[in-house]
């Protein structure tokens, strides 16, 4: 039975499942299909972070333009559902291959050109992140983004991190303006 978290809650992924190696992180949302102007285009991104809360280089930024980390530990499957409540994007992670210098893996979603189109997460409904055991396909944990966001164009859903030999998940739900560029700046990814 999956655990449903609220903002700020943390849970161990491997304490109850010590052999857990492969996980699938699903991120989903619903957007209106009419009456809002240009269609909302959301994208999920992943940042592999050092103890300084920065990427070590641009290859630690996994997104639609860089689908696989060089270590093969993180793979963005870029599988968007056409409609419905299924995961819009999925990220496959092999915890055994995550480089030792990675202290956390941040999961985000952004609205493409959201600011120029005057779009924000207030238009996004039922957003969530969930983590499943890839071998059993069982959902381990889920965080439904219940916070009301307004004109934010980026959201940090949560982080998978290692603490005392255990892999854990932190439900965050932090919105920001500036879209993907702001997240890249925050995490030290050089763009341009």
For the CA atoms of 110, 115, 116, 122, what is the dihedral angle to 10 degrees? 90
Whole-angstrom Cα distance, residue 143 to residue 157?
Answer: 8
| Residues 60-75 pLDDT 10s | 999 999 999 999 999 9
> Does residue 192 lie in a domain region?
no
pLDDT the model gives residue 83:
45
**Where are the extended beta strands (E) located within 50-138?**
61-62, 74-76, 89-94, 104-111, 125-133
List the CATH number of the domain containing 173: 2.60.60.30
pLDDT band at 149 (very low <50, low <70, confident <90, very high): confident
> Does residue 144 lie in a domain region?
yes
What is the pTM assigned to this prediction?
Answer: 0.92
The CB density around residue 172, as the number of other CB atoms within 10 Å, is 22
> Does residue 68 lie in a domain region?
yes
Q: Are 104 and 52 in contact, with CB atoms under 8 Å apart? A: no
| Structural domain boundaries, residue 49 | 3-187
> Does residue 48 lie in a domain region?
yes
Bridge partner residues of 74 (DSSP): 93
> Does residue 150 lie in a domain region?
yes
**Count of domains forming the chain:** 1
> Does residue 161 lie in a domain region?
yes
| Residues 86-139 pLDDT 10s | 789 999 999 999 999 999 999 999 999 888 888 889 888 899 999 999 999 899
Question: 65 is written with which tokens?
Answer: 């333009």
């Amino acid at each position: 039975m999956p655990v449903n978290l609220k903002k700020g809650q943390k849970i161990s992924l491997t304490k109850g499942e010590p052999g857990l190696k492969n996980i699938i992180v699903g991120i989903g949302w619903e957007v209106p299909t009419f009456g809002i102007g240009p269609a909302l285009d959301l994208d999920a991104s992943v940042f592999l972070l050092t103890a300084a809360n920065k990427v070590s280089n641009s290859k630690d930024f996994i997104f639609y333009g860089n689908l696989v980390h060089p270590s093969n530990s993180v793979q963005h499957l870029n599988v968007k559902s056409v409609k419905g409540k299924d995961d819009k994007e999925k990220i496959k992670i092999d915890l055994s291959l995550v480089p030792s210098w990675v202290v956390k893996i941040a999961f985000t979603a952004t609205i493409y050109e959201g600011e120029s189109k005057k779009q924000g997460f207030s238009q996004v409904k039922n957003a969530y992140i969930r983590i499943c055991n890839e071998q059993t396909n069982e959902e381990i944990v889920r965080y439904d983004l219940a916070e009301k966001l307004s004109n934010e164009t980026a959201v940090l859903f949560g982080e998978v991190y290692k603490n005392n030999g255990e892999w854990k998940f932190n439900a965050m739900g932090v919105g920001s303006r500036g879209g993907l560029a702001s997240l890249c700046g925050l995490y030290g990814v050089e763009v341009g």
